[in-house]
Structure 1
Amino acid sequence: MLRLTALLGCGGVLLAGCASMPDSGDVHPVKASQRGDSQVRVYAVQPRKGATPDEIVTGFLEAMTSDDSNFATARSYLTDEASKRWKPEASTTVLTAAPDPGAPILSGRDNPGRSYPLYGRQIATVDSQRAYQPVTPVEYRRTIHLSEQNGPDGKQWRIDSLPPGLLLGASDFERNYVSVNKYYFASGRSVVVADPVYIRQRQDPVTRQDPVTQAVSALLAGPTDWLAPVVESRFPAGTALRKGTRSLEFDERNGLKVPLNEKASSVGRPQCTKMAAQILFTLKDLSSARVDQVELLRANGSQLCVLGSGQAEEYAPDHGSGRLDSQYFVDEEDRLALLASGSKDAAEPHNVPGPFGDGRLRMSRVAVARDEQTAAAVSMDAGKLYVASILTGSELRTPVVTSSGGQAENRLSSPSWDGRGDLWVADRNPSDPGLMRVPGGTGTPQDVRIVPGVDGARIEAVKVSADGVRIALLLTKDGTTTLKIGRVERHGPEDDPAVTVTELRPAAPHLETVTAVSWAGPSRLVVVGKESGGVQQVRYIQTDGSTAPNSILPGLNQVRSVAASDDESRPLVAYSQEDGIVRLPAGANWQTLVKSGTSPVYPG
């Protein structure tokens, strides 16, 4: 990591934090979001004696991008009263670029001073729970007001009114924050569900906690409001780290000791084991830490329980499926074919046993169950959905769902299997549209309510997560297809619940239209789409709508479908009208597997 300690020359004319120290040339202010290096640290600079109002505004905006203790330097640009009111930890507004101060406006007699409009284009908000909430890019305008105050050296300009929370350009946000998945258990099940939040990449300015401790603290604080109705934490209510904990201790075997407060001191071993599993999953993808086991400690320092990372895997959404995570597709004769799993080179595909592979059913779309024993196929005319074994020969039974739409595009969507073994499909019939769930893949289809509704949009595609509590929907309205994520809620008896999809939220508001989507891990999707005026892209997005740097994948033309495994080490596969069935191994370009074929899928 580049650590910049030399601050000489940063004072005076340059009030913004320094990102480098040239040894020649003129000195110029640097707008925060012009920096692209996420490893650069910005050190804020106190206002100089006699600083002008312009310098105060510029210096404060830059100081918000640093991570000094309790934002002390940023507060030095505020009046005492404004500093007391300002809560930078309460929210963060994310703009496409650093906020741009406009020309000052003189205030009236009732509030003498100067007002500076702040301009930008807002793309997201991060709330007090650290949850990222994207918005369709919208113009941002707020105001900073300055007044003259009595200081130790006479009159000085200071900010007495400002927008709430932090205000950052996208590149500064990416430099200071990192996405982390907290994990909770799906309600009534021993399966973990990812809940993405953002924590500081380095020490948190307010709590002074390092990233590992921040992640654990965020986990103990409970799930975000959006996910809370469908998950449970195994930590007793009120559980927190022992008071004053800013850093957690690792031993020589990559074991992490986690001291808890009195709320957790009396839990039994089975509950404690699940508590430790939540921590292990939460820290698994945090690059700053390798945790092989977690030891939970009571408030008095005695041991509650110990759990190794391998033991925690029994709570993964795909545990016990026995799957090979193979790649499947519909071949040129409209049959289900299998590509060899795990091979580095393109292997000759072969058809699966049974009616889906021997030609008895010509299919247009397919979904393979997560245990890879059965599959669901949509007929060529998209009017019927069948389920059959793909391990042994069997009869082609009556369809489990039938659509009466007039044309193929107004009939059934591609199906999707959730981690519970249920099958999902949408009927796109304009006169009788709906989302359906087939319990166990063979039960009586049940209508799934969407609350609130989809506002006249048509469901084009359905993808359910492995944990079964989140669903991705492609919705078309007025010629535009957008991606939304919904929460799957179940109420009533376990063997016959009423299922609803609630609180749909945009997952890719920056994309003008989305062509295809697939789950690509616990809280990640791969999408095919394009921005306004742009070209088609294949890219990763988080389920909260945020995007990581370098998330755009190598170019591929005329992509119609894409598939990813829940195992993020497995390559992507896609169907391109130009190149056929292709895959993207890590660190390589797209490779053609089969020239003729469509609808590539992983189990799910």
Structure 2
Amino acid sequence: MTRRLLAVLIALVLALTACSGVPTEGPVERVSAAPGRLNPGVEIAPAPPGRNATPITVVEGFLHAMASYQPNYSVARAYLTAEASRLWSPEAGVRIYAEGNPVVETDTSATLRAPVVGTLDTQGAYRQSTETIDHDFGLVEDAEGQWRISNPPAGLLVSEYLFSSAFTRVTPYFYAPGGSWLVPDPRFYPRGAGAYEGAARAVVDGATEWLAPAVEAAPRGVELDSVRVSASGVARVDLQRQGSDLTEAERVALATQLVWSYRSFESIVAVSVGWLGEEAWAIEPYGEVIPATGFPEADPTPRQGSRQLFALEEGRVVRVLEGPDNTHLQVAPAVTAATHAAVRQDALVAATVSADRGSLELAPLGESVLRPLGTSPGLRRPQFARDGSVWVTNDAGELAVVSPAGDWTPLVVEEVGDGRIEAFRISPDGARVALVVQWASGQRTLGLARVRPGEPVTVDGWRELNMATGSLAQLTVLDVGWRAADSLLVLVDDGRSTSVLTAAQDGSTVVPIGPTAAQDLVELAVAPGAPPMVRSLEGEVWRYNSDFRWSQHAAGLSEIFYP
């Protein structure tokens, strides 16, 4: 997608449709958005075709009407022949096409030829696209001599600009398998009053097709009836049961997902959940009305995690101290010649790679102790997963997970094939992993894969993410990190300079953020809630302050990392 236009999406109004796909019925009403997502863009007011409209006017009117939700898309259907209106299915998905591609008309036809930059499936999940539209709308004259469309597209066709104005991003949440924390599953929906109901329906219906194998399934025997929002901002979610009642634990889990999903709306201050026609469930410790800030323990990001910056300095693990003398605190006395390292989320233990890059060791911080985890040639930068295991790759591009007891399990990403994994970062919730892969062609690309726990752990579902922007067309991806549970920072090289991009996990937004003064950047240190850092080949560390405003933070470091 043209990233200049996609940047608008960062400030979208958060709202949802009346169903988990594109809505076709329900009332129309403005819905408020989460802080930082308000889009002050122009409201689209679709109009039916005018009398004696030209072919191109009919098609352009239809394209505008598709981008604005109406019950059953009645205005958009007014541009179609009776037969086409009967057969058209706007809920079949959305294709977003590039700006600067006007409809081409002749005396009797109108055709849209344009690159498709992204698609939404029936669940609202975004995916980047390299498809091209070449669609003849099949204009015909009706009995009154008025031009109408006999060949509408499958689903909706929406331009980038109208997509950024008329659609909004929302994040339903689902539980990680066997865990007590949530995993985000972002989607896009048209704006409208169905937003409240759509948020609940997404939770009840389950995760998107891609994420579903990596998270818990939706509760069985539960259907959404309706959602009512009071003037005071309390969302009452009425459910219908198709079988036996839910256990208390199942009620708490479902309420937790709904509360976190409703954090998408600044107009929602609390949530209550219950069976249709019955009192709301009383959920401890909140009672029948749960504040939108409830269930903080389900945060996808570990709440107990340290936000201190650590580094390697002359082979020693240090905590980086900001100051004019560039002096840092050694925290693992037993480590004197490490080549790579990571620190566990609680900042109590480090994992280090030996000087010959053949051994992986655990080093409790503050203690003169090293505990071997195993050996393998050419080890590279490790990372602790949320469950305490250590993930590590090597020069051959192989990925492995090492248990706290030292058991090594190779991880094969089948879709990557002969590609070599150069860098990786596990998401804060542990359900996804970002991979930088070098292919036989020499190209380095970024993608996401699912992490499915079990014996053994499975990594699959590779999806490449295109980081090219309008100003950075040819890119080599160098490093990646999770800025939040659903967004990334990506270090790239365009052949002239290196820079950092911020990107949504689905690639729907990709925006450069600098720095402009730093040169030869090679590594990121990123963690939710902590200021992003980037290191140069010479060991200079730069701290992110705001977009294109970075300040030098430290020097003389060979690796940087957050727990």
Q: TM-score, normalised by structure 1?
A: 0.78
Q: How far apart are the structure 2 equivalents of 1:347 and 1:256?
A: 52
SS at match of 1:119: strand
Residue aligning to 1:337:
318
Give 1:233 shift.
4.3
- 1:139-162, Cα deviation, whole Å (9 max, x unpaired): 432221111111xxx211100002
Could you list the per-position Cα deviations for residues 536-590 of structure 1 after superposition, in whole angstroms to 9, with x for gaps in the alignment?
4312212222216x664553432211122123xx211111347811211357821
Partner of 2:73: 71
Counterpart position of 2:239: 260
Q: Deviations over 1:388-418 (max 9, x none)?
A: 112x223334452321xxxxxxx22311111
Shift in alpha-carbon separation, 1:598–1:173, aligned structure 2, 3 A: farther
1:122 CA drift (Å): 1.4
Aligned 8 A contact 1:98 1:170 in 2: no
- In the TM superposition, what whole-angstrom CA distance separates every residue of 1:119-140 from its partner, at most 9, and x where no partner exists? 11112110001001113x4443
Report the CA distance between 1:490 and its aligned residue: 2.9
Give the Å deviation of 1:346.
10
More deviation, 506-515/224-233: 506-515
Cα deviation for residue 481 of structure 1 reads 0.8
Q: How far did residue 324 of structure 1 move?
A: 2.6
Equivalent position of 1:564 in the other structure: 526
Pick from 45, 48, 51 the counterpart of residue 46 of structure 1.
48
CA–CA distance in 2 between the matches of 1:396 and 1:463? Answer: 24
Aligned residue number for residue 409 of structure 2: 446
SS at match of 1:81: helix
1:547 lines up with 2:509 in the alignment: yes
The answer to whether the aligner puts 1:143 opposite 2:122 as a matched pair is: no
State the distance in 1 between where 2:111 and 2:356 align: 58
CA distance in 2, matches of 1:460, 1:97: 35
Deviations 1:443-471 (A, max 9, x none): 2211112233x231111012112222211
Report SS of the residue matched to 2:401.
strand
1:508 Cα deviation after fit: 3.0
Alpha-carbon distance in structure 1 between the residues aligned to 2:147 and 2:257: 49
2: CA distance, partners of 1:599 / 1:388? 17
SS at match of 1:296: strand
Alpha-carbon offset, residue 192 of structure 1: 1.0
SS in 1 for 2:172: strand
Query: What does residue range 489-528 of structure 1 map to in structure 2 within 5 Å?
Result: 489-491=452-454, 497-508=455-466, 510=468, 512-528=475-491
Q: Contact 2:332 / 2:363 at 8 angstroms: preserved in 1?
A: no
Which residue does the alignment assign to 1:25?
Answer: none
8 A Cα contact 2:497 2:519, kept in partner:
no
Distance in 1 (CA, whole Å) between partners of 2:199 and 2:96 is 21
Q: Could you tell me how far 1:98 is from its partner in structure 2?
A: 5.8
Measure, in 2, the Cα distance between the counterparts of 1:179 and 1:344: 40
Once residues 532 and 554 of structure 2 are traced to their aligned partners in structure 1, the CA distance between those partners, rounded to angstroms, is 14
In the alignment, the residues of structure 2 paired with residue 54 and residue 294 of structure 1 have an alpha-carbon distance, to the nearest angstrom, of 47
* Distance of 2:380 and 2:134 partners within structure 1: 42
Max radius of gyration: which structure?
Answer: 1
Which residue does the alignment assign to 1:273?
252
Going from structure 1 to structure 2, the CA distance change for 1:199 and 1:579 (only over 3 Å counts) comes to farther
Q: Report SS of the residue matched to 1:515.
A: strand
Unaligned runs of 5+ in 2: 1-10, 12-38, 283-287, 469-473
Percent of pairs identical after alignment?
27
Contact 1:187 1:230 in 2 (8 A): yes
2:381 match: secondary structure = coil
Q: Distance in 1 between matches of 2:222 and 2:549?
A: 49
The CA distance in 2 between the partners of 1:276 and 1:544, in whole Å, is 26
In the alignment, structure 1 residue 175 sits paired with structure 2 residue 194: no
User: Matches of 1:217 and 1:235 in 2, distance apart?
Assistant: 12
Distance 1:115 1:438 in 2: 62
Residue of structure 2 in register with 1:249 after alignment: 229
- SS class of match (1:545): coil
Q: Determine if contact 2:255/2:273 at 8 Å carries over to the other structure.
A: yes
Q: Which has the higher contact order (CA 8 A, sep 6+)?
A: 2
Give SS of 2:410's match: strand
For residues 112 and 293 of structure 2, the distance between their equivalents in structure 1, rounded to whole angstroms, comes to: 51
* 2:198 paired residue number: 214
Deviation at 1:241, TM superposition (A): 3.2
In the TM superposition, 1:72-87 aligns within 5 A as: 72-87=74-89
User: Are residues 1:395 and 2:389 paired?
Assistant: no
Task: Look up the match of 1:12.
Answer: none
Does residue 120 of structure 1 match 2:100? no
Partner residue of 1:363 out of 334, 338, 341: 338
Q: Deviations over 1:206-251 (max 9, x none)?
A: xx51x33322222222100111112124533442133xx4xx3246
Q: Whole-Å Cα distance in 2 between the matches of residues 575 and 132 of structure 1?
A: 32
Matched letter for residue 313 of structure 1: P
Amino acid at match of 2:352: A
SS at match of 2:146: strand
Contact 2:301 2:485 in 1 (8 A): no
Residues 400 and 411 of structure 2 are in contact (CA less than 8 Å); yes or no, is this contact kept in structure 1?
Answer: yes
Q: 1:593 aligns with which of 524, 528, 553?
A: 553
Question: Which stretch shifts more, 188-197 or 576-585?
Answer: 576-585
Contact 2:538 2:556 in 1 (8 A): no
SS at match of 1:232: coil
* Residue-by-residue CA offset, 1:59-87 (whole Å, 9 max, x unaligned): 22222233344332222111111112222
Instruction: Rate the CA distance shift 1:50–1:578 in 2: closer, same or farther, 3 A.
Output: farther
For structure 1, the residue ranges without an aligned partner over 5 or more in a row are: 2-36, 106-113, 404-410, 492-496
The equivalent of 2:212 in structure 1 is 228
Flag the 1:530–1:46 CA change in 2: closer, same or farther, 3 A: farther
- 1:65-115 alpha-carbon deviations (Å, 9 max, x no partner): 33344332222111111112222222111122165322438xxxxxxxx44
The equivalent residue for 1:6 is none
Letter aligned with residue 372 of structure 1: A
Q: Is 1:463 aligned to 2:443, yes or no?
A: no
Matching residue's letter, 2:489: V
Structure 2 residue corresponding to 1:94, chosen from 96, 113, 130: 96
Contact 2:524–2:533, Cα closer than 8 Å, also in 1:
yes
- Give runs of aligned pairs for residues 400-419 of structure 1, distance below 5 A: 400-403=374-377, 411-419=378-386
1:487 is aligned with what amino acid?
R
User: Corresponding residue for 1:104?
Assistant: 106
> 1:517 Cα shift?
0.1
Give the TM-score normalised by structure 2.
Answer: 0.84
Distance in 1, matches of 2:496 and 2:196, equals 39
SS of 2:484's partner is coil
1:260 match: secondary structure? strand
Structure 1 pair 311–55 and aligned structure 2 pair: CA distance change class (3 A): closer
Task: Tell me: CA distance 1:118–1:536, structure 2 relative to 1, closer, same or farther (3 Å).
Answer: farther
Residue 393 and residue 475 in structure 1: after superposition, are their counterparts in 2 closer, same or farther (change >3 A)?
A: same
Match of 1:241, SS state, is strand
CA contact (8 A) 1:91 1:165 kept: yes
- Count of residues in Structure 1 that have an aligned counterpart in Structure 2: 514
Q: 2:280 aligns with which of 294, 297, 303?
A: 303
Secondary structure of the residue aligned to 1:388 is: strand
Counterpart AA for 1:144: F
Letter in 2 for 1:367: A
Letter of the 2:202 counterpart:
A
- RMSD, aligned α-carbons: 2.8
Contact 2:205 2:218 in 1 (8 A): no
> Within 2, Cα distance between the matches of 1:255 and 1:370?
35
